[in-house]
Amino acid sequence: KELPAIMGGLDELKNKIMDIHKKFKPSVIGIIGTALSEVRGEDIQEIISNIKSPIKTFGDMFQISNFESEILYIPSPDYSGGFGDCYAKAIEAIAGSMAEPGPVIPNLINILPSASLTIGDIEEIKEMVSAFSLKPIVLPDLSLSMDGSKEKYSILPLAGSQLHEIKLMGLAAATVAIGETMQKAGEILNQKCNTPLYMF
């Protein structure tokens, strides 16, 4: 079923977005670009910007009513960089579109861990930050969703970074970026929300 979308079927992508929205009503839908869609020059951004308008397929008209999901496009062709680079692009897209500026919350600290950190590393960092009476927002926080403690089956990951927390990242007193690939995401938060950036 994935092949038509991967091969560049724009109508297929629209249909998949509609199916996901209808079935799960997610707050955010992520679209990860492939090398093929990039080389073919598919205009994914155009689809995203027009997704609420009527979609014509085989002469029938479909309308996504009450479409509230945010759609993020992450161009990540495999000919451009490696896993860490695409991971970083995803974090940049999330931070850039979700974080909202506002009054600073003094004990709130953003943590941007690079792809090289393990789940154990992230748990340890959260414990250290919390020991200083600070509240860490980790993006992404895989420590709870991938530590093997899942109690029930779900086709979607449980726990992790919550949407309301990601929106609060713009109010943090500081951002700590761990790893060079996280620098741009930290700079995006700095430029958009004036959050001081500290690199490790």
| Amino acid occupying residue 28 | V
SS (H, E, C) 142-158: CCCCCCCCCCCCCCCCC
Q: Return the bridge partners of 33, or none.
A: 75
- C-beta of residue 94 within 8 angstroms of C-beta of residue 72: yes
What amino acid occupies position 30?
G
The pLDDT tens digits for 40-84 are: 777 777 777 776 555 444 344 445 556 677 888 888 777 777 788
Which residue is it, tokens 């950190």? 117
Residues 6+ apart with CB under 8 A from 157: 145, 146
Least confident of 24-38, 130-144, 164-178, 181-195: 24-38
Q: Which two tokens stand for residue 169?
A: 């990242």
- Here the tokens at position 156 are 């979607």
pLDDT number for residue 64: 55
Token digits for 135? 């509240």
Residue type at 168? Answer: L
Residue 190 has pLDDT above 70, yes or no: yes
- Residue 171 DSSP class: G
What is the C-alpha separation between 89 and 100, in angstroms, rounded?
A: 19
DSSP letter at 179?
A: S
pLDDT at residue 175 in the model? 98
Question: Does the reported pTM lie above 0.95?
Answer: no
